[in-house]
């Protein structure tokens, strides 16, 4: 078994490129497992700032085969996301063997996040494994890898200051919004979406003293979410916006079909039908997507500029004699941009998106990061030692099976010989205790002879695995370097 991962994140790509790449990501794991024979398992992590595919490959790989495997997976990702195969291949950083383990543990612990120390990623890693289980794409190795990553994340959270700092994309976004808002106890907030970031936003808003929170959802889940979180559902987004000071949008519902609202794993082909004009025209979704009185929404945005202008007009009417309505701060935390960027041009509106947050993310003290990294490195080493040991165990088990066959034969021969000797002296045949004594002696001798062989097998298996993984790392590094060079090159220099 070989671990292989393909990563595209905010560190390598701008968020626009990452957004295009991760479109249709929910189906990629299934497709890879079903169409790639050597792939025994796949887990996909798709968040607001990363798209990663972890593979368990049941085949020997060389540097060249890593290149071919990566290219094949890139083509599958390209088919699901609508980008070209070349773009997908250039976008990935490829890791193999121990590098996969080290990277995932760092990701789960918040060390590779847009906001270093972000704790929400730990939950996203858990959900990624749960989704892979539902899709039946996991393997024993990936199960153990992801479960160990979660345990490592918990230790970083409890044993370092990184875990107690409460750092997250949501917290950073609210920090940036705070200076433009009324006091929190007088702020009226609207959430768009009912996923994990919406839940984290409710908790973060309440911690700051904001209790006037409403939630809107295209999928019709607003009332369920509102009841479970103690907030108010909003039937019309335009109405809610007209009376809001702050909007936190984190639905990631860009481009979804109304008919698929309750189906989080809507197939990309259905979305392609919309783009092709088979549902409401080539560039629009049906009226009502953003509330009964919203204008037709442009495909791809939960909140467009026209709807916001209408909401601001209502806010101005309600303001009456006041010189202008209260300003509106919008936080777009969805990778697939819930909010049309042109919203920033509407008077009285301030828009913060993920690109803004990435540029303003604060640094973390070096010693705190080093302590967390030490925990991650130690956990990764232990996992790899265990994994290599398990791979050697297969050879050891085969040797033990062979030894048992030999022992059984020797026991039978010794019992027969003793039986003949006793018969020659007219004595009774060996009883059960005699046979057990012979069996113990034979097995003790056979297993003693195996000790040196087992030690040699483990050492050889470990050395061969490490040598193979070193070759894989070289191949992955060459592939990543090639992709990086193509990303850095101008369009005219790319092949």
Active site residues: 48
The candidate with the shortest Cα–Cα distance to 354, out of 49, 130, 43, 37, is 49
CB atoms within 10 A of CB 330: 25
Inter-axis angle of helices 120-134 and 196-208, nearest 10: 160
The enclosing H or E element of 331 equals: strand 328-332
The enclosing H or E element of 103 equals: helix 98-108
Long-range CB contact pairs, 225-233, < 8 A, 24+: 225/194, 225/198, 229/199, 229/202, 231/191, 231/202
Helix (H, G, I), strand (E, B) or coil at 118: coil
Residue 218 to residue 382: CA distance in whole angstroms? 45
The enclosing H or E element of 268 equals: helix 268-275
Largest Cα separation within the chain, whole Å, is: 123
Residue 205 to residue 219: CA distance in whole angstroms? 23
- Residues 90, 19, 150, 94: what is their CA dihedral angle, to the nearest 10 degrees? 0
Residue 135 to residue 87: CA distance in whole angstroms? 27
């Amino acid at each position: 078994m070989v671990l292989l991962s393909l990563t595209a994140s905010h560190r390598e790509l701008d968020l626009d490129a990452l957004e295009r790449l991760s479109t249709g990501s929910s189906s990629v794991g299934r497709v890879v497992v079903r169409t790639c024979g050597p792939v025994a398992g796949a887990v996909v992590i798709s968040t607001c700032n990363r798209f990663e595919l972890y593979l368990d490959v049941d085949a020997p790989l060389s540097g060249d085969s890593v290149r071919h495997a990566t290219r094949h997976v890139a083509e599958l990702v390209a088919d699901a996301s609508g980008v070209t195969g070349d773009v997908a291949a250039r976008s990935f950083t490829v890791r193999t063997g121990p590098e996969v383990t080290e990277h995932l543990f760092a990701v789960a612990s918040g060390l590779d996040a847009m906001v270093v120390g972000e704790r929400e990623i730990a939950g996203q890693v858990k959900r990624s494994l749960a989704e892979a289980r539902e899709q039946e794409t996991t393997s024993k190795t990936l199960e153990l890898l992801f479960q160990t990553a979660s345990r490592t994340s918990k230790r970083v959270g409890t044993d370092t200051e990184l875990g107690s700092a409460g750092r997250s994309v949501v917290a950073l976004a609210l920090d940036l919004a705070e200076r433009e808002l009324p006091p929190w106890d007088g702020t009226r907030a609207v959430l768009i979406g009912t996923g994990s970031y919406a839940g984290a936003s409710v908790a973060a808003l309440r911690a700051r003293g904001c209790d006037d929170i409403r939630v809107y959802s295209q999928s019709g889940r607003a009332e369920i979410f509102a009841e479970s979180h103690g907030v108010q559902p909003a039937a019309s987004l335009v109405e809610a916006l007209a009376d809001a000071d702050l909007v936190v949008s984190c639905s990631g519902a860009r481009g979804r079909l109304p008919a698929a609202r309750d189906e989080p794993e809507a197939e990309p082909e259905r979305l392609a039908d919309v783009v092709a004009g088979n549902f409401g025209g080539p560039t629009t979704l049906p009226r009502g997507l953003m509330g009964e009185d919203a204008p037709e929404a442009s495909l791809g945005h939960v909140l467009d500029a026209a709807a916001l202008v209408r909401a601001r007009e209502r806010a101005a009417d309600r303001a009456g004699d006041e010189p202008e309505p209260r300003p509106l701060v919008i936080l777009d935390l969805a990778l697939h941009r819930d909010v049309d960027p042109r919203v920033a041009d509407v008077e009285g509106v301030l828009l913060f998106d993920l690109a803004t947050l990435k540029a303003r993310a604060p640094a973390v003290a070096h010693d705190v990061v080093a302590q967390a990294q030490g925990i991650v490195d130690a956990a990764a080493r232990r996992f790899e030692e265990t994994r290599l040991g398990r791979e050697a165990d297969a050879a050891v088990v085969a040797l033990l099976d062979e030894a048992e066959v030999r022992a059984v034969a020797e026991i039978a021969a010794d019992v027969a010989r003793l039986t003949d000797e006793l018969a020659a002296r007219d004595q009774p045949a060996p009883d059960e205790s005699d046979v057990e004594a012979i069996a113990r002696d034979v097995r003790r001798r056979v297993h003693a002879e195996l000790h040196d062989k087992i030690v040699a097998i483990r050492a050889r298996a470990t050395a061969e695995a490490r040598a193979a993984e070193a070759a894989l790392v070289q191949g992955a590094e060459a592939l990543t370097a090639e992709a990086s060079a193509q990303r850095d090159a101008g369009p005219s220099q790319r092949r």
